Structure 1
């Protein structure tokens, strides 16, 4: 009778790290997985900046990857500037300063150039937001934009209602764009995205102010109409025209020593 030879299973040596069986994954994919894991450890403070990383053997043992995968992952982290290798010493987390936070507030917007630069930021953001709003807006979102527009028309030039309504108009468009990041940026920056000149000078005559506010209202009305008609190109064009005109008006207000609503 034929006897099947029993398979001999060699016991794992105690000094060999245990490897997770990933037969379907290639070394390149495994290295990417380990890079992501080690990067997260650095962000979470498990590996602190300036400290020495565990050795290749220790990482291999604790994370369950072969040493060749660990070596490839460390090379990628080094190329990304997250770690540095010192000969005969080891691999260290690069001691980088924390990334600077966004500094954008009333105290940082003090000159005409600051205001115009902020307006350029708005143009790069809000022109596309208007186009996306025309494409993606819901009936309820359109109604919210319309209510903000009507508030602009009904508010008086000497109250903060016009400023708030203007801000809400642009914020509601960002929300209607369907892009959560655009909405978050607008919401975070708030009324700072609608810059006011900071010159301490008198307002224009009442007649000029009324004409100015009527002109600004009609520009907003064109934006709303394009969004209502679901015409992305027209919405982008209307928003671009409005913000371009705002830039001209801000410069003219500075030259005339007037402080105007956006």
Structure 2
């Protein structure tokens, strides 16, 4: 069964196709954020994440106070490294990709601990709040979880981390382990407490500029996710 496309992926894909087809020619300003919210029927957060994806891939650039413009020159995308969604159907592939995420984000969070701004912390805490709201409403916390970890990449102040995370981030948060709408009240509460505690601890380490603690907590968080994924896959295999 094919992987379901997220709202952010759908909006990113449509905007990229419009740029590629010339619907939005080079140098043109994209529609306003509100106009895209209305056009796609999604939240402002989804639109912002889609724009962040396009910016990281070099398709658009932002002029503060004016708007978002299609770049005059777009570098070709290399196929030298690609993780295909269909390749993630095997347990070994899923676990291998999660290990890649461990390596990338462990280094990113150390840089983020030294370079983060108060806005980054605020954005991460908002993402945590959105995760908890999603769980309370028996929805997937995936989008907010992805946003939390993308903000860590952004806090490195190194666009290469952001570019890499935007490329593989959607594949690296295992969807198979979180099906909150199927959980009973006790299991959902346990999920809620774990998500809140693990992410808040990372955020607090970043707030204190504690690189070692941030790295250790991030690794613990992702290692736990890997172990739960391994157990989930073993039950369904």
Q: Which residue of 2 aligns with 1:93?
A: none
Matched, 1:123 2:117: no
CA offsets per residue over residues 8-59 of structure 1, 9 Å max, x none? xxxxxxxxxxxxxxxxxxxxxxxxxxxxxxxxxxxxxxxxxxxxxxxxxxxx
Aligned pairs for 1:1-262 (under 5 A) are 100-156=79-135, 158-160=138-140, 162-197=141-176, 203-257=182-236
Distance 1:126 1:225 in 2: 17
TM-score (norm 1): 0.55
CA deviation profile, 1:189-231 (whole Å, cap 9, x unmatched): 2321212238x9x945442233123213211111111011111
Root mean square deviation, CA, Å: 2.5
Q: Hey, what's the Cα distance between the residues in 2 that align with 1:141 and 1:107?
A: 33
Going from structure 1 to structure 2, the CA distance change for 1:209 and 1:257 (only over 3 Å counts) comes to farther
Give a deviation string over 1:119-146, Cα, whole Å, max 9, x none.
1000100011111111110111221112
Report the structure number with the largest CA radius of gyration.
1
Residue of structure 2 in register with 1:65 after alignment? none
User: 1:112, 1:197 within 8 Å by CA — same for their partners in 2?
Assistant: no
Equivalents in 1 of 2:114, 2:228: separation in Å? Answer: 30
Q: Secondary structure of the residue that 2:83 maps to in structure 1?
A: coil
Q: Is the 8 A contact 1:118 1:195 kept in 2?
A: no
Cα distance in 2 for partners of 1:204, 1:151 equals 18
**Stretches of structure 2 lacking an aligned partner (at least 5 in a row):** 1-77
Structure 1: state its 5+ residue gaps.
Answer: 1-98
